[in-house]
Amino acid sequence: MRALVLTAPETLSVQDIPVREPGEKEVLIEVKACGVCGTDLHMFHGDKGAFENSYPLVMGHEFSGVIARIGSGVTKFEVGDHVVVDPNVYCGQCAPCQRGAVHYCEHMVGIGTTVYGGFAEYCTVPERAVYRVPKELPFEVAAMMEPVSCAMHGIDRSNIRPGDVAVIIGYGPIGEIMFQLAQCAGAAQIAVIEPQKAKREKALKHGAVLAVDPMTEDVKAVLQKAGIEPTTVIECVGRKNTMEMALDIAANQATVMLFGLTPPETKLDVYAYEQLFKKEISVTGSYINPLVAERVIRLLSSGKIDMGRIITDVISLEDSVKVFTDNSYRSHGKIVIVP
């Protein structure tokens, strides 16, 4: 099969590699679409991420496809089923798994991060990592189950109630997904903080009550002038300054969700009295996507999340190296690679 293979930091090429036949409890998926994630870019550059990876590696953990072959012990699926994959395969036996915190599994396997993933024509995965999706759901949309699942876990921890006011920092693909999920959760007003003019205009078009340029405007002053008191602030950038901004603009008793992936060594400057004690804010994070796949599949199937607003490029596997080496793609929305 053809596959996009990472052999060292910033060394990536499309190669012919063997297809791994499915074991007893595994399925072979013919990949139809695989999204490019910020984690893939981190691994391409050799940065540290949620999981340690080795080489060679076929990246890609946001994918959908059709079951091509099944192992002898597979009971839940048949050849021809349309499916998506939860790439975080937990053991189910360790202490975190047994108390329901599967995303802290002590023996986690990451499809596309620690073992071969979906930037290929085929991918072999455990049966229990697979979820069936309706055949009428487009493969590109179905592949977004994983990033939407990560965002869903973040929304679950954001304490948004009907009628609340949310501010989203960063309006890239994840920011857009968060925007739509916040609407689904009941946020009555959503403001966006985003330096790129085109993205600010997009946010306003999609219903943001305000879009602020943090490079030229005093964000806190603009929000206060507009009468926006954020009950939830969701940071989707992963930078020290934007995380500190989130703490600063949060209203009294607000929830601050630090969702953006930051380098592990990042430290924040926090004013304990002014920002935490006096305002009684709750600061939380969100780590991967535990046990929300079925909810997200129902949401995507219902059309309540419009991925057409987020997917901007569909690139063939043969041309996929440029997505990682051409920096102009960083300004695009969600990019999907198809075999």
Q: 3-class secondary structure for the chain?
A: CEEEEEEECCEEEEEECCCCCCCCCEEEEEEEEEECCHHHHHHHCCCCCCCCCCCCEECCCEEEEEEEEECCCCCCCCCCCEEEECCEECCCCCHHHHCCCHHHCCCCEEECCCECCCCECEEEEEHHHEEECCCCCCHHHHCCHHHHHHHHHHHHCCCCCCCCEEEEECCCHHHHHHHHHHHHHCCCEEEEECCCHHHHHHHHHCCCCEEECCCCCCHHHHHHHCCCCCCEEEECCCCHHHHHHHHHHCCCCCEEEECCCCCCCCCCCCCHHHHHHCCCCEEEECCCCCCCHHHHHHHHHHCCCCHHHCEEEEEEHHHCHHHHHCHHHHHCCEEEEEC
pTM, rounded to two decimals: 0.93
Residue 50, pLDDT score? 53
Per the CB < 8 A criterion, the answer to whether 176 and 118 are in contact is no
Domains of the chain from N-terminus onward: 2-149+289-338 (3.90.180.10), 158-285 (3.40.50.720)
Tens-digit pLDDT string for the chain (339 aa)? 999 999 999 999 999 999 999 999 999 999 999 999 988 998 999 886 556 778 999 999 999 999 999 999 999 999 999 999 999 999 999 999 999 999 999 999 999 999 999 999 999 999 999 999 999 999 999 999 999 999 999 999 999 999 999 999 999 999 999 999 999 999 999 999 999 999 999 999 999 999 999 999 999 999 999 999 999 999 999 999 999 999 999 999 999 999 998 888 899 999 999 999 999 999 999 999 999 999 999 999 999 999 989 999 999 999 999 999 998 887 788 999 999
Sheet hosting strand 189-193, strand order edge to edge: 210-212, 189-193, 165-169, 232-235, 255-258, 282-285
Helical packing angle, 173-185 and 145-156, nearest 10°: 50
Task: Report the 10 Å Cβ neighbour count for 8.
Answer: 9
Task: Report d(CA 38, CA 249) in Å as an integer.
Answer: 26
The alpha carbon of residue 88 and the mean position of all alpha carbons in its chain are separated, in whole angstroms, by 13
- The two three-digit tokens of residue 256, written as one number: 């601050």
